Structure 1
Amino acid sequence: MNFKAFLPILFWAVASAYENQARQAQDPIAAKGASINNIPFSTRAYWMRRANAALADLASPCPFAAFGTVIVNHTDTSGGEFGKLVCIGINENGKVGNPVLHGEIAAINNCSSILTDASGPYNLSASEALDAFADLSIYTNGESCPMCASAIRWAGFREYIYGTTIDTLIEQGWGQIRISSTEVFRQSFDLSTQSRLIGPILANETDPLFAWQFNPAAPCPVGCARGEMGVCEKA
């Protein structure tokens, strides 16, 4: 068999295997002691919750487009037992008028600035910063659209971990391009880098962030309440 022709199947198989393992680990009790790609589920949960917390850090606990992202280095323990946070980002397209500034893109931009900041902790050259992404993991509380999933592959992240699936977003009323991250990864075999796809993780905690916007009966996220216009606002 032509090896290049076989690669799409290989990428799909790897991604599917991790997706299935991650689904089984959604329940924190059932996941006790479990690990995914040699990282304990407790660490995965910690960083996914940190991606959720990025919303309040940069905007509100209940922004309308509640897409939050963190980028971390699991092997750098100087930040603590769970690894080191490098940067965060949230969806800012409505804030700045840039339609492509989704949470993942915002986080990547922030990381690039932090990694190359001459007065910062890293002070990397542009080429060194590009290489650094191979050691980093990106957590996003909603499965990336094909634009962001492609950006993740171009960046060459070590891992990409998501919470709420695109299918769930569609079910909850969100407009989405119906191309899964698995499909983007399957079709990216020509790239020189490899990234692990893991998800959904902690969807029981990320799904509610996207449920209230188009369903007036859905509860607001923790720390928020519906205002006069029926929109969830910080309590």
Structure 2
Amino acid sequence: MSDETYALAHLDELERLEVDDEGLTWRPVRRHFGIGAFGVNAYTAAAAGARVVEEHRDDAEELYFVVSGRARFRLGEDEVEARAGTFVFAHPGTLRGAVAGEAGTTVLAMGARAGEVFEPSAWEESFAAFGYLRAGDADRGRGLLEDFAARHPDDWVARYKLAVFETLAGRHDAALGQLAQAAALDPQAAEYAGSDEDLAPLREHPGFGSAIAGQARPGGEPA
């Protein structure tokens, strides 16, 4: 058992990673504290009208708290305005997302699946990895995704994320190798690769067809 009894940090002291072209800033709260029972992260939008919670449907229970500014949430077919100090709870299966009502709007998101042991997901690793890539630290980002893929060898999404990462990093041969592994694990990888804008440079590569067929040479290179 750890001798630590508590940890304390101000929001502004947490690591800040820019994770999209709209300037969305992610603060990895769960990773900072090493929380293992539930997910918790903070997001700050750079401008009014920019997303502050990515629209998605999940079977987790998720609670959002508007820390500052104001946000317009989409919850199923409804849209609700939430000013600073407001909690928003999304039941499992509900489509959810939010855009900022003003620049600097910050939303804290917390969640987990009821009755299940919490497991950090691939998206969290990819958020961190692509954030480091944007910040110019490709090696650190690549290491996160490679470690996750090694721990989850049957997860095609992990390999697919690595393919996207390597494409954006300009390492197209490495990207094709990762894409081939993803497609060999699940045909969905090929479907996504056919229209994913981030993989557009790969579709011009002569090895793309072999990669989405899940064919790779020893060492991970596409056949």
Q: Output the TM-score relative to the length of structure 1.
A: 0.26
Higher relative contact order (CA 8 A, sep 6+): 1
Higher strand share: 2
Structure of larger gyration radius = 2
Higher helix proportion, which one?
A: 1
TM-score, length-scaled by structure 2: 0.27
